[in-house]
Amino acid sequence: MRKKWGVFNHYLYGSEKGYIDYRGENKEEILLMAEEWNGQVASFDVGKLARTLHEVGCGYYMITVMQGTRFMIAPNEAYSRITGIGPGEGCAKRDLVRDIGEALREYDIDLYLYYTGDGPHFDKTAGPGMGLYEDYEAGIHGKVDRRFVENWAAVLEEYAVRYGDLVKGWWVDGCYASLGYNDELLSIYDKALKKGNPDVLAAFNSGTASFVHPDGDDTPVKWYKNEGFTCGEDNDFTYIFKTRFTDGAQNHLLIPMGEYRDGNVCNGWRNTGVRRSPAYMADYIRKNNEAGAVITVDVFVDQHGNFDPAQVEALRFIGREVGK
């Protein structure tokens, strides 16, 4: 809560071309993609990122470790052991998480990480290798059971233990009841995270249920019993909290700043542009802070770690106003 607001980046393979939906069937093609991914991660300028975040005045930063594909932003031995995918062919050779965390620490900016409960479900090697149930003909991706969760938690635990208190929290997407998730399975992830940092905060996204109550009351909810903060995934800066906690979890919302692609309100994520005026967003964040809630703003990032200049200016304005 003392940090007030933060910045989120979707940093993924192929993100310059739009989200890449691939199946990992062609070994030669995958090796070329892996080479491209490693080049992308190696080019990420963590010093510039940290300076920019400091200049705009945010309190914390969150970045994707992975999403959907086989590609991760840091090495992981458990991942290679379980899937059979060699080092550098899925997990980046560079430990971008550590490099970002150490750069941020200079400015007292906290690091949070994004992970997913549906794992590398697009990849025909990594997904089944982890134990995901897949039926590509039927369009079924990512059914989970205890075997998958324990495998995927081993990957998560390796990261958590390596980074310790360098990482303050995790936002874990794709933990849907429709995939088989419940408190028992989510507890395996929570335990893995706590091995690295007993004070770590975690949120597990159940999809729309993470924001909208089943009875239609448009307020964020606590999905997993031990969540430290609410996922609060939303598409616009409209909801204002009245209290700091929801069932003991710190109230929090994650919202994209960018323009809606094709006019679709669900397509503002990792997009350029400033949809709401900086003054409006600053006032919105300030009102939520006054209620005890925290706001994370999703913005565009390119493959080298650069932001959209217009969004940087908006963030700078927000930082000045919220910091008053």
Kindly report, residue by residue over 132-155, the tens digit of the pLDDT: 976 666 666 668 999 999 999 999
- Percent of the chain past pLDDT 90, that is, above it, reads 80
Structure confidence at residue 14 as a pLDDT band (50, 70, 90): confident
- Summarize pLDDT for 37-82 with one digit per residue, the tens: 999 999 999 999 999 999 999 999 999 999 999 999 999 999 999 9
- Mean pLDDT, all residues of the chain: 92
- Summarize pLDDT for 270-307 with one digit per residue, the tens: 999 999 999 999 999 999 999 999 999 999 999 999 99
Mean of the pLDDT values across residues 178-182?
92
DSSP 79-135: HHHHH-PPTTSSB-SS-HHHHHHHHHHTTT-EEEEEEETT-STT-TTHHHHHT-EEE
CATH of domain 5-322: 3.20.20.80
Mean of the pLDDT values across residues 171-178?
94
Please state, in angstroms and rounded to a whole number, the distance separating the CA atoms of residues 16 and 270.
Answer: 10
CB 110 within 8 A of CB 59: yes
Q: Retrieve residue 90's tokens.
A: 């899925």
- pTM higher than 0.85: yes
Structure confidence at residue 19 as a pLDDT band (50, 70, 90): very low
Q: Which of 60-69, 196-205, 208-217, 235-244 comes out lowest in average pLDDT?
A: 208-217
> Between vectors from CA 231 to CA 8 and to CA 10, what angle results, nearest 5°?
25
CB 301 within 8 A of CB 16: no
Among 10, 109, 102, 117, smallest CA distance to 55 is for 109
Report residue 51 CA to chain centroid gap: 21
Model pLDDT, residue 250: 97
